[in-house]
Amino acid sequence: MENKFCFLSEANYPNYTRRLKEFNLKRYLELNLEIPFYISTNRPQDFDEYKNNPLIRVFDIENLRNENNKSKQYEPLPNDPSGLYPAKYPWNLRRFIIRKAIEDGYLGLFFIECDTKISDSDTKESLISFMNKIYEPNTVKTSSSRFIYKDRHPTQELFFNHKNYINDLKLNFNESELDTLDGTNQLFFGESTESLKTFLDNWDYICDYGYEKEYGYKTGYLSNLSFIIPMSNFKLIHTQTPFVTEHKFEDRY
């Protein structure tokens, strides 16, 4: 399966492109892996030093979403990002780099945010062993927080509008199927390209629905994934991973 694996990340604006290079990519390069790393950004020029590295592929987010007019309308990246992070940031944009990797034939997608990296205690061999063992078709796995739908409280923003979605879309999932996950490491494993494309099509669908409704989740991609996972016949699994996160709140705009 190793040749079907891909690392992915997203970094928009200088603070986050710098953080990705100095923290996430630095560790990836130290391990001398032969697994590609896909990056989505609104500042591709910040990654010019990797132009000669065939494994690091940098994509301009505007090119990735060129044919998605609703994304361009509802998921803006303003020239001045002041006040954007975290509540107003269009977190659903990560779906575009995920879709690109799917289109290129990868079935094991390891999305790690710019302030998340492979543990310093891991070797190349231990990491590859982990990646092969954790792959399970049509699952989403993480060691980040898992948010339990049945334990929600009435004012919890993450699930606040779920009843509207369930009623409008006539969804009939068990409460245990509506859990969701935090975003620092999100691992998407498909049985096939087609199953992953269905997952991304559902992601687009739920985004569009939310943008059209007054009570839609808008930037709430974790809320969206609560629906997308069961709609796509995927299963959410909380597990151990070799990824560590170090947030730097001073990076926020």
Query: Could you give the CA distance from residue 193 to residue 195 in angstroms, rounded to a whole number?
Result: 6
DSSP bridge partners of 235? 139
Max alpha carbon distance in the chain (Å)? 52
Where do the structural domains in the chain lie, given as residue ranges? 2-251
Query: What pTM was estimated for this model as a whole?
Result: 0.97
Mean pLDDT of 135-143: 98
Q: Which residues contact 209 (CB under 8 A, 6 or more apart)?
A: 165, 168, 169, 216
pLDDT digits (tens, 9 = 90+) for 172-201: 999 999 999 999 999 999 999 999 999 999
Lowest mean pLDDT, pick from 19-23, 26-30, 228-232, 247-251: 247-251
Which architecture, in CATH terms, is 2-251?
Answer: Alpha-Beta Complex (3.90)
Q: Which residues contact 201 (CB under 8 A, 6 or more apart)?
A: none
pLDDT digits (tens, 9 = 90+) for 1-42: 678 999 999 999 999 999 999 999 999 999 999 999 999 999
- Beta-strand ranges (E) seen in the chain are 5-11, 37-41, 56-60, 108-112, 116-118, 139-142, 146-147, 180-181, 185-189, 235-238, 243-245
- Asked if residue 91 has pLDDT above 80, the reply is yes
Q: What are the b/e assignments for 55-73, b being 16+ CB within 10 Å? A: ebbbbebeebbeebeebee
The token duo for 64 is 């990735």
